[in-house]
Structures are given as C-alpha cells and as structure tokens.
Structure 1
Amino acid sequence: MQALLHFDLASFLDSLVSLATAFVLGSIIGYERQYRQRTAGLRTNTLVAVSAAVFVDMAYRLNGAAGATQVAAYVVSGVGFLGAGTIMKEGLNVRGLNTAATLWGSAAVGACAGADLVAEALLAAIFVLASNTLLRPLVNSINRRPIDDRASEVTYQLCLVVRSDQQKQVLDLLETALAEASYPVGDLEVEPFGEDAVEIKATLLSTSVESAQLERIVAQLSGENHVRQAFWNLSTTE
C-alpha cells in the first residue's frame, strides 16, 4: 500500500518521458553499432542508456540534484567496468576501445535523460553518432596512408623461433644486434613452441625504429644456424 500512497502521477509521467528518451536515443546509437556488427549492439546500448536513466531519475526523486550527481558518478564508474569487458587484446593489437567508449556515450545520454535534461540528451546522442559515422571516412583515409616510422607511435615486436637448447645463445645474439642498432627492449617473452623449440618475443617501444633496419636485423638473425624462423610485426593501436 505504501507504493500507492506515494504514487505521484506527475512524477511518474516525468520518469516516463526520461526513460522513453533514453530508450529511443540509446536504440539509435545501438542500431548504428549493430549495423556494423560490433560487440555491444542495439540491446546493449539501449539497456545501458535506460539503466543509467533509471538510476539518475531515482536518485533525483529521492535526494534531488545532489543525489542525482552522486549516482551519475557511480554510473560512470560502473559503465567503465562494463566497457572493459568489450576490450580484447590480440597480440600487440587492442580491439573494442571504440565500443567501450560508445557505451560510455550511451550512459551519458541516459544520465542526461534521467536528470530531465532531454535536450542535452539529444545533443549528446547526436555527437556520439557523429563520432561513429561522420569521422569514419577520415579514420579510413588516415589508416590507408603508409606508416611513417618516425612520425607514428608504433610498437614493434621481433619474434624468433629457436631450439630450446639454443635459447641462451640466440638471446645473446638478439641483445647484441638490438644494442648495436640502439633499440632498447621494452619487454622480452619466451614461450614454448612445439616439442623442442621456443618462441622469443622482443617488444621494442622506441619510436625511432626504422622498418628497413629492422629487416636487416631479421635477415642477420635468420642466417644463424640456431634460428629456425625470424620475423617482426608492428601495431599502431593503443
């Protein structure tokens, strides 16, 4: 009976407008993500927007603007954990950062709607959509340009496959070759490779690495009897 006693039609309609706004705008953002087959699609972005609106609207009704402000801060933190689940690391490449950022955008849209800032929610949704659509041709154009080793912030990884019993000798050769080129090693990993081999992965964090010089190092190491395979790759994704 307490629910009936505290029922306020005006407040209920206000909440309905807030949640409907979050639902519609979150669905629009989610549709764009679903159309591009992203990890977080239509339902996820809609749920994030509506949930954020529910929490902020509830806090606003219980404790006014102060309560809405406090809950909005928790929404930001909570969505950060949710977005972290969409980020995947594949070798040196990281995927899902844009999806995680879009979820934050959907939460911001929902929070605005929950705080009765409908116009601001619409404006936020427009900018989130613009970031994912209007900037896409520019991103594709930049990505199609050849990589300038000195101008781009890239991470290089030099990989060697060697016999297990020759690991120490090859490590010495690798360190010598990189030291002569003044390429400091940021990280060094040794993993099993088959039954009698290991794979040595040296990550170079220097932005002064030149592809041509790295090719010469790979060719030099490939000529060693202890080395079965030698190659390198790079990543420009942070």
Structure 2
Amino acid sequence: MATTVQQVYDPGIWHISYWELTIRLVAALALGGLVGLERELGGHSAGFRTHILVCVGSAAIVLLSIYGFAEFSTDPNVRLDPARLAAQVISGIGFLGAGTILRTGLTVSGLTTAASLWVVAAIGLTVGAGFYYGSAVLTVLVVVSLFVLNKLEKKFSRTKRKRDLVLRVNKDSASLSKVVTELHRHGIGINKIIVENEEADTCDRDDMLIVRLQLKLGQTKHFEEVIVSLAAIEGVLGLEAGVESL
C-alpha cells in the first residue's frame, strides 16, 4: 500500500538571526577585501575599497532577497523567489566593470580588474547565501589567479611586453626613419604604427606629424635610455611614452 509523505511547511527557513547576518556581511567584507588588496597593490583603478563595497553590497542584496520579505512568507498569494534579486547583481555588475576598462592609445587595460569585480560580486552572493565553503574556495582561487599566476605570466611573457609611444616629428625631415632604425638597433619591434598628417585636429603645426607606435619591447631592460636616444634625433619635436603592458 503506497504511503504519502506530507511535507510540513516551516516558515522559519525565511528568517535569519542578527548574529548570522552580521557574520555573513563581515565575511563578505574580509573576502572581498582580500581580492581588492591585490588590485590595490598593483595600482589598479578599482582597488581595496571598491572590491569591498561590491562584495558586501552583493551579500546584502542576496540576504535581502532570501530573508528580507519573510513577513510575507505565510501569505498564500505570495511566492518567494530567493534568487530573483541575486540574478540582477550578475548582470548589473557588468556596468561597473565596464567603467574600469580603459583604452589608452593603442592599448586596452582594465580587463582583469573588470573580471575581478564580477567575480567578487559572486563571492558576495555566495557568502550572503551562507555558502561559506564555496566562497572561501572561490576567494583562494581568485587570489591565486590574480597574484601568483600574474607573477608567472610576467615571468614567461617577457617577450610580449608592449609600450605605447607618441612622437611629434618634423614632416620634412628623415627623423621617422631614424626613429625606426634606432628602435631596431635596440631590439625593439613595432607592432602598430599610426601616422597623423597636418590635417588632423590633434596637430598643432602644419609642418609636424604625429606618429603613434605600439612597441614590442622583448628583452629590452633599459627602455628609458632608448627614450633619451630617440629624443636626441634631429627632427623629433616631442615624445610621450605610455605605461608598460602585456
């Protein structure tokens, strides 16, 4: 004879103690700050406080989504969905991450910081939901990826180092060819080159060219000396070097 098991509804699952709520928010602060610390030490735009705010905010939102409407849990006309607000965090955090992606000249930077903001939001959601083990493992993996793997990437990617260089040269001189020759003499390759003539709005003089170069540094260790030698070339009116990137 078949028996049926009657499930007893427990409204207590929609309630959380103040102590547990505090623990979850503090844990989100600590784990998010751990990821943000690595970004802060690296001098990135979104650093320690930004990651803390994202992580704690995500935890608070998922806590609100699960426990914030407990007073309506006994209403037969209300159907609670604990994942509804949390789902909006995953899509909404993309707008904040997009703000950290910058394009400077020929180089795009900030992609890793944008990704770290997205994953730290996930950490906040897991902590807020009480998934402590998963949040701890996720934080460890993120910190290892950002810190340890970053060191390894720099070690094995020295030949991929890039640098942006903007030159202002005399249009009627042979300075551009001399610049290219000097760069090759130091073992520096050119990935991209953009030349703006006197009709460009960024030019200040009719006899001047603006040349934008993306350089492949390779094993070059003394790039500052290369800059000095380029500045000494006749016909070079000015130059500006961007930050190094991979």
Q: Shift in Å at residue 126 of structure 1?
A: 0.7
Residues 25, 122 of structure 1: 8 Å contact kept: yes
Residues 15, 67 of structure 2: 8 Å contact kept: no
- Structure 1 residue corresponding to 2:107, chosen from 84, 93, 97: 93
TM-score, normalised relative to structure 2? 0.59
Residue type at the aligned position of 1:106: V
Residues 158, 202 of structure 1: 8 Å contact kept: yes
CA distance in 1, matches of 2:141, 2:114: 16
Q: Shift in Å at residue 100 of structure 1?
A: 1.0
1:197-212 matches, within 5 Å, as: none
Q: Secondary structure at the match of 1:145?
A: helix
Residues 192, 198 of structure 1: 8 Å contact kept: no
Q: Shift in Å at residue 68 of structure 1?
A: 3.2
In the other structure, the counterpart of 1:162 is: 197
Residues 19, 114 of structure 1: 8 Å contact kept: yes
Structure 2 gaps of 5+ residues are: 1-13, 71-78, 162-189, 214-235, 238-244
Q: 1:201 to 1:76 in 2, by over 3 A?
A: farther
What CA RMSD, in Å, does the superposition of the two structures yield over aligned residues?
Answer: 3.8
CA distance in 1, matches of 2:124, 2:116: 12
Residue type at the aligned position of 1:36: G
Superimposed CA distance per residue, residues 176-231 of structure 1 (whole angstroms, 9 cap, x where no aligned partner): xxxxxxxxxxxxxx54412326868899xxxxxxxxxxxxxxxxxxxxxxxx99xx
Q: 1:69 to 1:199 in 2, by over 3 A?
A: farther
TM-score, normalised relative to structure 1? 0.61
Q: 1:194 to 1:100 in 2, by over 3 A?
A: same
In the other structure, the counterpart of 2:137 is: 123
Verify: 1:82 aligned to 2:108, yes or no. Answer: no
Residue type at the aligned position of 1:24: A
1:213-228 matches, within 5 Å, as: none
Residue type at the aligned position of 1:48: V
Structure number, greater radius of gyration: 2
In the other structure, the counterpart of 1:34 is: 40
In the other structure, the counterpart of 1:69 is: 83
Residues 59, 67 of structure 1: 8 Å contact kept: yes
CA distance in 1, matches of 2:198, 2:25: 62
In the other structure, the counterpart of 1:20 is: 26
Structure 1 gaps of 5+ residues are: 1-7, 148-154, 165-189, 204-227, 230-236
CA distance in 1, matches of 2:113, 2:211: 29
Sequence identity (%): 31
In the other structure, the counterpart of 2:152 is: 138
Residue type at the aligned position of 1:193: C
Relative to its length, the structure with more helix (as a share) is 1
Counting matched residue pairs gives: 175
Verify: 1:112 aligned to 2:132, yes or no. Answer: no
CA distance in 2, matches of 1:25, 1:197: 56
CA distance in 2, matches of 1:20, 1:162: 57
For structure 1, which segment, 38-47 or 62-71, has the greater mean C-alpha deviation from structure 2 after superposition? 62-71
